[in-house]
Structure 1
Amino acid sequence: MKAIISHDIDHITVSEHLFKDTLIPKYLVRMHLELFSGRISSREYTLRWTDLFKNKWQNIDELITFNNVNGIPSSFFIAVNKGIGLSYSKLSALTWIEQMKLRNCEISLQGICFEDLNLVHNEFNLFKSLTKKEQFGVRVRQFTNSEATYNLLAQTGYKYDSSEKAFKNPYRIGKMWEFPFQIMDGWIIEGYKKWQTFNLLQAKENTVKLIDKAFESKLDYIGIDFHDRYFSHSFKTWLDWYMWLVEYLKTNKIDCVNFEGAILELESKKS
């Protein structure tokens, strides 16, 4: 089994949310809940205020550097439209797309549109024009296990999708590869809530159970989603968990590939 680690870019600056959504008030409530419940330290609490004043809610460059040092291919899903809780501009997206290109990252779309054929096509073409890429993948921000959605994405021309949460091996929908994923940082640490529920030890235990289940399910690839924003001492449990996870994969001889590499492997087996 190999691992495919990917990263969703949900936020870039704090100011992009001002007067546009309720994310900042929710963030303030969350950090106080986590502090008073003992889930985060006073240092983390202070650093989260620092992030607000620095106007920095992304850690893309730092994450790429860590991945490079550890031999992890960096795969990012970045949006070109606004969605629920996602408010950065096309210009901000393009700035980071160019930075990621310079650092040889795999760049795919974090899709906002997934129901209307015309909107899905327009978003596909916009991403194509901004990145100058002919082939790329997608992950729908609003997770869905709708067969109709996957068929729509395949018709649009995406090379691969990784929106499905399931213990399945990659499979084809028309010409598009579907890569189900099994682990996401939020599920591991928040337990489907909006704030930290588990400590680091519990997060590790939750993760090992899922990796063991992937082996039991005879998966060729295990999909892992980690958000760049959490690669920070402001979110120490997340940071420590990701660094531990990378070491755990290396210790257990689970090599990491990106989606393009996995597709080459899959297609070479078929030929």
Structure 2
Amino acid sequence: MKVIISHDIDHLHWTDHWHDLFIPKYVVKHILFLLSGKIGFGLFSKRLGLLFRNRQHRLPELIVFNRENGVESNFFLGTNNGLGLSYSLKKAHQTIQYLKGFADEFPVGVHGISYTNQEGINQEKRRFDASGFKAEGLRMHYLRNNEDTLNYLARAGYTHDSTTYELKDPYLVEGSMLEFPVSIMDVYAVDDTDATFEKGKQKTLEVIAEAEASNLEYFTVIFHDNYFDPAYPAHYEWYKWLIRYFKKRGFNFTTFDRACKELALEKP
């Protein structure tokens, strides 16, 4: 079984959220967590302390960790706004340039907002391509999709997508695009109120065991880069444990782009 590690970039800077309700919702949520006893004062202080650092993403830290562990991973960046994804297209292009500076180690695709119509999907791809790099892959923000979404993506010219959530091997859509179902995602494994990742560890081991029992060829993981911070101890430690677990088990890491080439070679 090969492992594909992927990262959805939902946030870049706290100041990107001045025009939406993300920050007040974030503060209120954590006050309620504290008052209900779901988190302690120490964790509450760390979470609110993040607001004063402005840089919400943890791309440099995550990349250092991934490179130290031999993990080449896919990143997905938004070129449209919605559902808390609020950074500008200019910042998206700058981040694409930054990630492309690592050559093919960290392929970048679109983190989609529009999923119900062809033109909206086409427009987001054009905005990405305007960075000077072509978008080959996509993942929808919040994994949103309907019965037509994958067909729209294939017609937009994407070679791969990873939006559906199920233990299933990649499959072709309209004969041209490979769909890589998500096997596990950080926020489904651990919770914002978890002080440790023990519950998430058990959930994850169960999913991996099920995948192996099903002889799954590719196992896809989502980890949001902003959680690579001690202020999110469960998410942070879960990801580090997961990478080391995969290495200990001898699983090979790959990317969506490389997997597409591998699967093309397997065609009769």
Partner of 2:89: 90
Closer, same or farther: CA 90–135 of 1 in aligned 2, 3 Å: closer
Partner of 1:113: 114
1:224 aligned to which of 221, 224, 237: 221
Partner of 1:128: 129
Partner of 1:213: 210
Closer, same or farther: CA 86–134 of 1 in aligned 2, 3 Å: closer
**CA distance in 2 between partners of 1:134 and 1:93 (Å):** 14
Partner of 1:80: 79
Q: Does 2:135 correspond to 1:138?
A: no
Q: Does 2:186 correspond to 1:185?
A: yes
Closer, same or farther: CA 54–134 of 1 in aligned 2, 3 Å: closer
Please report the TM-score for the alignment, with normalisation by the length of structure 1.
0.92
Q: Which runs of 5+ in 2 are unaligned?
A: none
Q: CA RMSD in A?
A: 1.7
- Is the 8 Å Cα contact of residues 39 and 199 (structure 1) preserved in structure 2? no
**CA distance in 2 between partners of 1:26 and 1:41 (Å):** 19
Deviations 1:112-132 (A, max 9, x none): 1111211211111111111x2
1:203 aligned to which of 200, 203, 210: 200
Identity, in percent, stands at 36
Q: What is the identity, as a one-letter code, of the residue corresponding to 2:57?
A: Q
Closer, same or farther: CA 144–49 of 1 in aligned 2, 3 Å: closer
Q: What is the identity, as a one-letter code, of the residue corresponding to 1:111?
A: G
**CA distance in 1 between partners of 2:142 and 2:49 (Å):** 30
State the 1:10 CA deviation.
0.4
Q: Which runs of 5+ in 1 are unaligned?
A: none
2:260 aligned to which of 240, 249, 263: 263
**CA distance in 1 between partners of 2:233 and 2:127 (Å):** 36
Q: What is the identity, as a one-letter code, of the residue corresponding to 1:102?
A: G
**CA distance in 2 between partners of 1:210 and 1:27 (Å):** 30
Q: Does 2:8 correspond to 1:8?
A: yes
- Is the 8 Å Cα contact of residues 171 and 178 (structure 1) preserved in structure 2? yes
Q: Does 2:32 correspond to 1:56?
A: no
- Is the 8 Å Cα contact of residues 188 and 206 (structure 1) preserved in structure 2? yes
State the 1:140 CA deviation.
1.0
**CA distance in 2 between partners of 1:119 and 1:108 (Å):** 16
SS at the partner of 1:85? Answer: coil
Q: What is the identity, as a one-letter code, of the residue corresponding to 2:88?
A: S
- Is the 8 Å Cα contact of residues 50 and 56 (structure 2) preserved in structure 1? yes
**CA distance in 1 between partners of 2:211 and 2:261 (Å):** 21
SS at the partner of 1:147? Answer: coil
**CA distance in 2 between partners of 1:77 and 1:136 (Å):** 11
Q: Does 2:20 correspond to 1:21?
A: yes
Q: What is the identity, as a one-letter code, of the residue corresponding to 1:120?
A: I
State the 1:44 CA deviation.
3.2
Q: What is the identity, as a one-letter code, of the residue corresponding to 1:229?
A: N
Please report the TM-score for the alignment, with normalisation by the length of structure 2.
0.93
Q: Deviating runs (4+, > 3 A) in structure 1? A: 33-44
SS at the partner of 2:60? Answer: helix
State the 1:49 CA deviation.
2.5
**CA distance in 2 between partners of 1:142 and 1:205 (Å):** 24
**CA distance in 1 between partners of 2:135 and 2:99 (Å):** 16
- Is the 8 Å Cα contact of residues 137 and 158 (structure 2) preserved in structure 1? yes
1:235 aligned to which of 228, 232, 235: 232
